[in-house]
Amino acid sequence: MRKNERLKGKTVAITGSSGGLGEQIAYRCAARGANLVLLARNLKKLKQMAKNIREKYGVDCLPLNLDLSRHEDIPAVFRDIFEQVGHIDVLVNNAGYGIFAEAKDVTPADVEGMFAVNVVGMIVCTKEVIPSMRRRKNGHIINISSQAGKLATPKSSVYSATKHAVLGYTNSLRMELAGDDVFVTAVNPGPMATNFFELADPSGNYVKNIGRHILSTERVSEQVVDAMLKKRREINLPGWMNVGSILYTLFPSLVERLGKKAFFKK
């Protein structure tokens, strides 16, 4: 089956879809004939995106406000989705953010905020789609994690902790749903060219230090969309960074010693 045919007429819901990777995923899905549910806090931007997508690709596109830190509101949003579109074939848990700071400087509000969005919000959204996917014996849950979930580095202790949690949850969920023909994929990109670093690193030092290694959202989104409704365990980008993560699993002390200088480039 050609990749365009696989997504044609399917419904893809994407959190954090008002910009960056989520926005790129949305447009690529629409280009392949998928109907979309766009979820983010910036409803004005989502409505404009939905208008553009409908006009350009002729697919259905439902924009809805969703603040992942407001966990009590999430079930009502998904009830609205199911009432309007019937079911979700692919859920992309993309929303998330990070703050780079030494552990001694991270505030309790920063910790609570990152875990509320990156972990708890993602889990609550996933919980809402599991029953219908299980009933239909079909579906795909894609969780955007990070290479930081595999290889923690200085000044990202809390962000890395949230992404470790995302990977732990994703790996457990994959096994739980395997018998129901529901696919679960973790996406682990390295640094991407998005507005993520405007909050994570306001100084701009990190982007300046690793500029040539930053991934484009176009490249990552292409791989994510290509994997939809396929049995794919993980997507790891870039390859050389994932090699580092694998080596870290095997030889943690050696990697920490040899990579110390590079790790402190934030």
Known catalytic residues? 159
Look-up: residue for tokens 């030494």? 102
Beta strand residue intervals within the chain, DSSP E:
11-15, 35-40, 61-65, 90-93, 139-144, 182-189, 234-237
Distance CA 250, CA 25 (A): 33
Question: Among 145, 142, 148, which Cα is nearest to 224's?
Answer: 142
Question: Among 229, 242, 236, 224, which Cα is nearest to 17's?
Answer: 224
- Does an H or E element contain 241, and which? helix 239-250
Output the CA torsion sign for 114, 165, 132, 229. Answer: positive
CB atoms within 10 A of CB 185: 23
Distance CA 46, CA 37 (A): 10
Distance CA 40, CA 30 (A): 17
